[in-house]
Structure 1
Amino acid sequence: MLSACALDTPPKTSDLAAQAVPSLDSRRQWANRGTPGDRADGWLAGFDDAQLNRLVREAIDHNGDLAIAAIRVQQAEALATVQSSGLLPAAGARGRLGESESQIVSVGASWELDLWGRIRAQSRAAQSERAATQADYVWAQRVVAATTAKAWFSLIKCTELESALKQIVEVQARLVGIEGHRVVIGAAPQTELEEARNALRVNQDALIKATQARVRAAQALELLLGRYPGGEVEAEPSLPALPPAPPAGLPANLVERRPDLIAASHRVAEAFDQRQSAQAARLPSVSIDVAITGIRSDVLSLMDSSSPVKGVSASFLAPIFTGGKLKARADYYTEAQKAAIVTYDNRALEALSEVEAGLQAETSYKARVAELQARVEECHTLLVREEARVSIGSADERGALKSRQTLLLSEADLLSARADQLNARIDLVLALGGDWREAGEMRAQGGGFSPPDFPDASLAAKSQKSGIHESDAAQ
């Protein structure tokens, strides 16, 4: 009996990781070499951008997707309480009173003996689901913080590109004016003026597209912040500097620090216990009932019995024929456990791939930004030379204006590359499982597992706006 009451233990995270990537334990470094050292949290502070800090915290407080994740945590906590209640006796009272010949009041308690672990397995599965939703919430926080940072960098990039294109349009307009004057005096054919005008139209069209891109970037950021998407948020004048590369840690440690992988491992444990509960439901169940009943009757004689009536009884139920329902349920959760394991395996491989891609992007963007920076410096040198030639009268203004356009285009390319580099850095710190908060702040907030109160606050605010009283909303 004691051995029958014992529950099997779900597979450990290390066993799941070994199954997903058999060679993971033997890997002492990443294929794309990263900075050595343990994972570091607090990546947000590394950008030294006060406005970005404010935006991320605003998004954490008001983002709609994060509100849903918080509600799911609360639902899972309530369900865990429901499933754990079956481990304790249930007590209740019922009666029939009034102007009748008989009045009956009964107080009783019932307790199902969990001989085969069915209720315990259900309770443990609910606890695993609660832990999984808590990890989901932490991961959602990190995703929202990372997405907000990338949206902020995108808005800055679009704003600067729009500014650069405005300058290019202004320069091209001056070139059109110069070519028009040269055509009038017979120094240039009409075709050169038409070519200059066509280039101006192309640049003006690019400016319109850049303005649209800036507005869309602002609206995307406002949606993350829970604001009205009016495209009104304004960007900083320049992108922040790239912080030092984060420590990459060991590949084997990734599965223990990424909240999404932690959630996936909890869901494997949940499916494991759901299968145990379904298998135990096919065995007989035993319950103990205790009741005290008081009867008062003007028409019935209780003979030798006395009131109240006390009694203790035991009952059992052994399923004989259920149309295959119990076996099918056990089969269902067996397959659900297999699916949960496959999901974990796939997610673990995706996480490792995300880190490798992020480390490779670090190297690629570093080389690309250096190359573009060198090109910008060369274009600036050429512009200085052309302006010097114009100042001494050895060349007209057209050469200097075209050199300025080339410099602006090179600066735009460098700007886009730097924005992409910052976004790649955000992807890397997220893939490595780094938290946007400092370690001290995480400890103060309990590791981020406690969801905020904004879902209930939002509900209350909406109820007041719609004229619904708090008690009616609760009902």
Structure 2
Amino acid sequence: MLNPTKNILKASVAFALAGLLGACAVGPDYQRPSIAVGANYKETKGWTQAMPSDTALRADWWRSYNDPVLDRLMDALLAANQNIAQAQAQYRQAQALVQSARAGFFPILNAGLSATRSGGSGSSGGSGSGLSGSGSSGSTQSSLTGSVSWEPDLWGKVRRTVESSQAGVQASAADLAGTRLSMQSTLAQSYFQLRALDAEKRLFEQTLAAYERLLRTTQNRYQAGVAAQADVAAARTQLENARTQALELNWQRAQFEHALAVLTGQAPSGFTLEPAQTVGKVPDIPLGLPSQLLERRPDVAGAERRTAQANAQIGVAQAAWFPDLTLSGNAGLSGSQWAAWLGAPISFWSLGPALALTIFDGGARESKVAQARAAYDAQVAAYRLTVLTALQEVENYLVQLRVMGQEQVTQDRALAAARESLRLTENQYKAGLIDYLSVAQVETTALSTERSALALQSSRLVASVQLIAALGGGWQASQPSDGQPVDSQPANK
């Protein structure tokens, strides 16, 4: 006679294997949303394209500025920036969610051990004796149980959940790269603005020294009777105004220094950056093609992965329409004495499949599917908007840098003319041909032109950093064959 336990077990296993072999993941398979990005950038006209051996941006893009201090600050930022540390922790959290989702592929095993002491009491008495007595008895019942439960992924709900979680990890990796790039860009911009203030302070030092010499010259001329007292007052006014403007630069530089301290994970009180003699030079920036932004911009890559994540959630919601199959088994030992367990057979067991299907839920499943589809449509729109915004940013910084390069040429000519005009005017004043008010006007114009030239140089450096960040900063989205996301941004070198 056949053993019914074996029959049930064989039937359950056969049913599960047949279901797994014929199973398919419900829900739409993901396709990246299409969007026209163009073959080339519009604002590359007149742009001098770099032609290095490696035409792509490097991940350590800041080294193209050839500034050792900037390199050192970037190293400190990658090691201690708290925004990056927070994004890294969120990335690890997303990785843990994938492992949690994958656990749905495996059975759940449980074990239990219990001991129960029970007893009762009673009384009896003889009418003749007039005596009463009481007695009690007790027993201990011990049990050892084990159970296994497995829900085969017949309709792909677990697979879609894992797919969604993996896309979430890849989006989190892009977020981490985006945070890193944002912090690097902020540091570089702050650094170049601080260096521009250093140059402006040196300009004011030279200007103040020249104003002091002119004030002494004017005082001497006044004492000699060849200059009016108004000239002395005008020279002193100009000197003190310049001193006031120079003092304003101190707090501006201090704030940038404090910002650099926080970006590198340090307290502002313990961070000092010595002045430098140069502002920097705009490097050649390789552009690539607009289509490359889909892989090189972390925010674009993250938005695309979140679209895939939302697509997988549609399948998760649709799987609720299908029945759930659960295979479960229980077995255990039970006895009043532990020693009896050594030779006792299994005291109890149960084994069998269970099929569950929701018949009516008031439209809850239908609404969840509709919600998942709407969330997917919203994420598609967000992805396309992110791509368009990325293209807009690149075009904006391209035209900004191109026009600023043209402005630099005209500004240099204006600066040369202002310096020559100042030299001639000062000579005329010393020769007694003009009064000091004429000199003061030319000096004010020359100082303003010098500051405009420095501001333009600083703006070009900042815009170049913004363009590099808009191009993705050398980051490249990558996905190996096992489906695990990879953050291709290299570690600090």
Q: How does the TM-score come out when normalised to structure 1? A: 0.81
Partner of 1:240: 280
- How far off is 1:279 after superposition? 2.0
Give 1:115-264 correspondences, 5 Å limit: 115-183=154-222, 186-230=225-269, 232-244=272-284, 246-264=285-303
Correspondence for 2:330 among 280, 291, 304? 291
Q: Quick check: 2:25–2:160 contact (8 Å CA) kept in 1?
A: no
Secondary structure at the aligned position of 1:316 is classed as strand
- Is residue 374 from structure 1 mapped to residue 413 from structure 2 by the alignment? yes
**2:93 & 2:263 partners in 1: Cα distance?**
24
Q: What SS does the aligned partner of 1:368 have?
A: helix
Computing the radius of gyration from Cα coordinates, the structure with the larger value is 2
Query: Does residue 101 of the first structure (1) align with residue 140 of the second (2)?
Result: yes
Residue matched to 2:367:
328
Amino acid at match of 2:331: I
Q: Secondary structure at the match of 2:350?
A: strand
Q: Is 266-275 or 183-192 further displaced after alignment?
A: 183-192
Shift of 1:370: 1.4
**Following superposition of structure 1 onto structure 2, how do residues 404-443 of structure 1 map, counting pairs within 5 Å?**
406-435=445-474
Counterparts of 2:86 and 2:208, CA distance in 1: 46
Query: Distance in 2 between the 1:122 and 1:363 partners?
Result: 48
Q: Which residue of 1 aligns with 2:42?
A: 31
Unaligned runs of 5+ in 2: 1-18, 118-138, 338-343, 477-485
Q: SS of 2:276's equivalent?
A: coil
Aligned to 2:350: 311
> What SS does the aligned partner of 2:326 have?
strand
For residues 179 and 407 of structure 2, the distance between their equivalents in structure 1, rounded to whole angstroms, comes to 32
Cα offset, 1:364, TM superposition: 0.8
Which ranges in structure 1 are unaligned for 5 or more consecutive residues?
Answer: 299-304, 438-445, 453-475
* Counterpart residue type for residue 28 of structure 1: A
Q: CA RMSD in A?
A: 3.2
Counterpart residue type for residue 31 of structure 2: K
Match of residue 108 from structure 2:
90
- 1:84-121 deviation digits (Å, cap 9, x = unpaired): 10111111211213666211111221111222211111
C-alpha change, 1:436 and 1:126, in structure 2 (3 Å) is: closer
* 1:460 aligned partner: none
Q: Which residue of 2 aligns with 1:57?
A: 75
Find the counterpart in structure 2 of residue 72 from structure 1. Answer: 90
Kindly provide the amino acid, as one letter, of the partner of residue 109 in structure 1: V
Measured in 2, the distance between the counterparts of 1:147 and 1:188 equals 52
> Which residue pairs with 2:482 in the alignment?
none
Residue 99 (structure 2) pairs with residue 81 (structure 1): yes
Cα pair distance change 1:62/1:121, threshold 3 Å: same
In structure 2, relative to structure 1, the CA distance for the partners of 1:411 and 1:275 (3 Å cut) is same
Deviations 1:179-211 (A, max 9, x none): 455555554444444443433343233222211
**Aligned residue-pair number:** 430
Compare the two structures and name the one with the higher helix fraction: 1
- State the 1:396 CA deviation: 8.5
CA displacement 1:360-410 (0-9 Å, x = unmatched) = 11211111111122222333444555677789x576996888766654443
Equivalent residue for 2:25? Answer: 6
Distance (whole Å) between structure 1 residues aligned to residue 435 and residue 181 of structure 2: 52
Contact 1:171 / 1:401 at 8 angstroms: preserved in 2? no
Distance in 2, matches of 1:180 and 1:449, equals: 64
Give the secondary structure class of the aligned counterpart of 1:97.
strand
Call closer, same or farther: CA 1:436–1:105 in 2, change over 3 Å.
Answer: closer
1:320 Cα shift? 3.3
Q: Bigger shift: 175-184 or 410-419? A: 175-184
- 1:256-303 Cα shifts (integer Å, max 9, x gaps): 2222111111101111111211221233211101222111147xxxxx
CA contact (8 A) 1:284 1:316 kept: yes
Overall identity of the aligned pairs, in %:
24
1:137 maps to a residue whose letter is L
Structure 2 equivalent of residue 469 of structure 1: none
Query: 1:217 deviation in Å?
Result: 1.1
- 2:340 equivalent in structure 1: none
Task: Call closer, same or farther: CA 1:450–1:426 in 2, change over 3 Å.
Answer: closer
Equivalent-residue separation in structure 2 for 1:390 and 1:36 (angstroms): 49
Give the CA deviation at 1:127: 0.8
- Quick check: 1:137–1:449 contact (8 Å CA) kept in 2? no
What TM-score does the superposition give when structure 2 sets the normalisation length?
A: 0.78
Contact 1:64–1:226 (CA under 8 A) maintained in structure 2 = yes
Deviation at 1:8, TM superposition (A): 4.4
1 CA distance for matches of 2:310 and 2:426? 73
8 Å Cα contact 2:231-2:435 kept in structure 1: no
Letter of the 1:65 partner, please give it.
Answer: N
- Indicate the structure with greater strand content: 2
Counterpart for residue 465 of structure 1? none
Question: What letter matches 1:141 in structure 2?
Answer: R
- 1:359 aligned to 383, 398, 401, which one? 398
1:324 Cα offset (Å):
4.5
